[in-house]
C-alpha cells in the first residue's frame, strides 16, 4: 500500500508542477517586453520650462500640474483628461491622454492598492494592466487599457471606475505604478 501511495503523490506533484509552469508561462506572455524602458510611442514629454497650466505651443505637451506635489508619482488631472508618470529628478515625465470613468475620485493623494494583469471591466470590456488606487461610491477606481485598444466614452448610466488609456500607455503605467506607488489626483 505504501508503494502505491508514493506513486500517487509523485504523480500529483508532477501534475502540480506542470500546472504552475503553464500558469507562469501564461503570465509571462502578458508582461511588456522591456519593463525598464518606457514605450516610445505612447507619451509626450513635458519640459521643465513649460507653464504649469498651459500647453507649450511648440511641442503640444502639457507640463506636470504645479499643485501635484513632488517626488515620484502618477498625476491624474481630471479636467485635462491626462496622466503624467513623474519619475526621479532629471527624468522627463511621460504624459498621455485618458478617457475618464463615470465615477471620478476627488482630488487628493492616494496609493496604488492592487493590480491585475487581465480582467473584465465593470463595463464588460476585456482590460489589462489594471492599477487600482481608491474606491468611490462602492466603485473601484483605477487605470487600465482595453485589450482591443479602444478608449470609448463610458455609458453615463453605468457606474464605472476604469480610467482608460491606449495599450502602449497602459504598458507604461503597469511598469511604473506598482503597489504602494503614489497617485495624485488634481482638478
Position 3 scores a pLDDT of: 53
Q: Selecting from 3.60.90.10, 3.30.230.10, 2.40.440.10, 1.10.10.10, what CATH number does the domain 44-186 have? A: 2.40.440.10
Residue-wise pLDDT for 22-75, tens only, equals: 444 444 444 443 333 333 334 443 433 333 344 443 344 589 999 999 999 999
pTM score = 0.68
Average pLDDT, the chain: 79
Retrieve residue 180's grid coordinates.
504602494
CB 170 within 8 A of CB 114: no
Strands (E), the chain: 44-45, 55-56, 61-62, 73-77, 82-86, 94-97, 108-111, 114-120, 126-136, 139-146, 162-165, 182-186
Amino acid at each position: 500500500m505504501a508503494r502505491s501511495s508514493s506513486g500517487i503523490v509523485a504523480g500529483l506533484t508532477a501534475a502540480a508542477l506542470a500546472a504552475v509552469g503553464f500558469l507562469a508561462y501564461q503570465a509571462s506572455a502578458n508582461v511588456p517586453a522591456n519593463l525598464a524602458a518606457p514605450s516610445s510611442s505612447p507619451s509626450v514629454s513635458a519640459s521643465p520650462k513649460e507653464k504649469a497650466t498651459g500647453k507649450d505651443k511648440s511641442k503640444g505637451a502639457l507640463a506636470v500640474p504645479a499643485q501635484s506635489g513632488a517626488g515620484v508619482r502618477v498625476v491624474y488631472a481630471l479636467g485635462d483628461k491626462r496622466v503624467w508618470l513623474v519619475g526621479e529628478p532629471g527624468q522627463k515625465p511621460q504624459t498621455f491622454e485618458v478617457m475618464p470613468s463615470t465615477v471620478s475620485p476627488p482630488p487628493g493623494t492616494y496609493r496604488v492598492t492592487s493590480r491585475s494583469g487581465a480582467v473584465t471591466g465593470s463595463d464588460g470590456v476585456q482590460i489589462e494592466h489594471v492599477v487600482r488606487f481608491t474606491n468611490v461610491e462602492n466603485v473601484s477606481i483605477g487605470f487600465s487599457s482595453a485589450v482591443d485598444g479602444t478608449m470609448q466614452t463610458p455609458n453615463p448610466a453605468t457606474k464605472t471606475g476604469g480610467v482608460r488609456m491606449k495599450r502602449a500607455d497602459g504598458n507604461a503605467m503597469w511598469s511604473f505604478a506598482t503597489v504602494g506607488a503614489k497617485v495624485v489626483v488634481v482638478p
